Amino acid sequence: MSLLASAQALLADVLALARIRLELFGTELQEELTRLFLVLLCSGIVLLLGALAAAFCGLALVIFLREEYRAPAAGAIALVFLALAAVAAVRMRRLTRAAPRAFDASLTEMARDSDALRP
C-alpha cells in the first residue's frame, strides 16, 4: 500500500469519525433543547395555574372576613405568596443544577478519541 493510499484511508477514517461525532452532537442538542422546552413549558403552566388558584383563594378569604380583619389577612396572604415564590425559586435552582451535563456523551466520546490518538 502506498503512502498516498494510506493517507487517503486515514483521512477517510477521520472524516467518518467526525461525521459520527457530529451526528451524536446533533442528537444530544435536540434532546437538550426538547428537555429545556418541556421543563420551561410545564413549570410555567404549573406556576401560572398555582398562582391563579392561590390568588382567588386569598381574594375569597379577604372578601369573607370582617372589615377589621381584611388588611391583616391581605398582608398575611401576601407573605405566604412571597414565601411560596422563594421556595419555588430554590427548587427550580436545584432542578437545573441536578440536570445531567449537556452533551455528556459527545464530550466523553471526544475524550476517548483524544486518548486513543495519543502515543
pTM score, whole prediction:
0.48
Show the domain range for 70. Answer: 3-104
118 belongs to a structural domain: no
CB 28 within 8 A of CB 106: yes
Is the dihedral angle over the CA atoms 67, 71, 72, 77 positive or is it negative? Answer: positive
Cell 386569598 belongs to 58
pLDDT in tens, 107-117: 777 777 767 76
27 belongs to a structural domain: yes
Q: How many domains does one find in the chain? A: 1
In 3D, which of 73, 42, 44, 39 has the Cα closest to residue 57? 73
CA dist 93 → 39, 86, 96, 99, 102 (Å): 12, 11, 5, 10, 16
pLDDT in tens, 57-115: 888 888 988 888 888 988 888 888 889 888 888 888 887 777 666 667 777 777 777 67
37 belongs to a structural domain: yes
Q: Grid coordinates in use for 115? A: 486518548
119 belongs to a structural domain: no
Cα–Cα distance, 39 to 30 (Å, whole number): 14
113 belongs to a structural domain: no
